[in-house]
Amino acid sequence: MDRINEIAESCRKKLREASLRKVLVLYLVMAVFIALIAMLITCVICENWKDIIRQVNAIDEDYRYIGEGDFAINFVSDGVVIRKTDMVSLSMGDTKLWYALNAIEILCIPVYSIGAIILVSVIYYRNKLREPISLLKAETEYIKRNDLSFCCRYDSGDEMGDICQSMDSMRQAVINNQQIMWELMEEQRIINAAFAHDLRTPLTVINGYVEMLLEYYPKGQVSEEQLLNMLTLIQGQTERIRIFSETMKEVHGFEALEIKKKKHTEQELEQEIRNIITGLERDNAPDICISVKSCDSDLYYDENVVMEVLGNLLSNALRYGKKNIEILAEKQEEKLFLYVKDDGRGMTKEELYKADSPYYTDKTKNEQEQGGNDDVLYKKQNIHFGLGLTICKILCKKHGGNLSFCNSVDGGVIVCAEFFAG
């Protein structure tokens, strides 16, 4: 019995995994076979009943049915009946039964054929279509209600299983897209809040100097030198506000950017990276080592987006690196990964946590570069405003990836930019 159950379970599994076309053909063949067997059995039963009627009425094999319940011995010559002898007639009941048996033999052919078609349709729908169709209907209803919690999972190797899998993959893609959209909106909110907070400082400074001038200049208590000094400071704060506004416009431009993927080869990617390096190299800069791992297939990405991210990351690496910078590009499944590693001092815990936050900067580094001069804040460089990694993160997410970074075990920082390149 266990062996029979194992065989039956194996057959059910094979039918579940088989394609719709193969199962339909199998069901039709089985239906035709069953219909033929049923028709044969029906005809045999009818003929047996006819033999019983003949035996009851003492009609032997020499008699032939000639209609209306009559039997006779026919003599045939050249296919023509030339004489009828020894006529035998059936009773009224036997005649009706004989007619009924003849009708059953004739009608069983279309009846069994139609019944086989209906039976195949019902079984085929129940076994191969009912469950996946109900799952797909339920999934569409959930999506209409903007509810993406329903999992359209149908474990089968046929086409309906593929459709359900595609539907569930689409649901997951919608969830991921919504998550990315909400994250971008949250980042935009944080950027706006940070912009408003940082804008408050120069406005406060400007307002303080203006109030001072309005109060003391009419009284002649402000010298020309003091006046020029205050106006210079006000101009500097105004320039700071202008550059802040331009960086905000640039960030908004990146968020509205439309990703346009094109096919690229491994060699093209390496050449694009070298072009970026050539444009950023300067005297006494650290040596840059490039490594592009062999890709099994072509890469599909937006060159402008990927190179913009790489340019920002490489600018950071050149700023903090000492002697060597390493760039590694590789493809895993459908993702393109760009790694940029420097040999600088690494990141503190605070920097690891806040490095990609809007307007977060390494003030110590700025002061070292400019001798403590606050004018560095007026330079139009996003990385000095703390927007470089923020922009990189936005662009990576727009391209279906993400940005991450960590300290290397042998010193320095490793930044990983991930892009969907399938």
Per-residue confidence at 289, pLDDT binned at 50, 70, 90?
A: confident
Which two structure tokens, joined as six digits, stand for 14? 């094979």
Looking at residues 205-219, what average pLDDT do you find?
84
- Per-residue model confidence as pLDDT tens digits over 351-395: 888 777 766 666 555 545 444 444 333 333 333 445 678 888 888
Looking at residues 18-37, what average pLDDT do you find?
88
What is the C-alpha separation between 171 and 151, in angstroms, rounded? 8
Cα→Cα distances 277→265, 401, 415, 418, Å = 19, 23, 16, 19
Nearest-Å Rg of the Cα atoms of the chain is 43
For the chain, counts of helices (H) and of strands (E)? 11, 10
What is the C-alpha separation between 90 and 83, in angstroms, rounded? 20
DSSP state of 265: -
Buried b (16+ CB within 10 A) or exposed e, 378-405: eeeebbbbbbbbbbbbbbbbbbbbebeb
> Looking at per-residue confidence, does 236 or 357 come out higher?
236
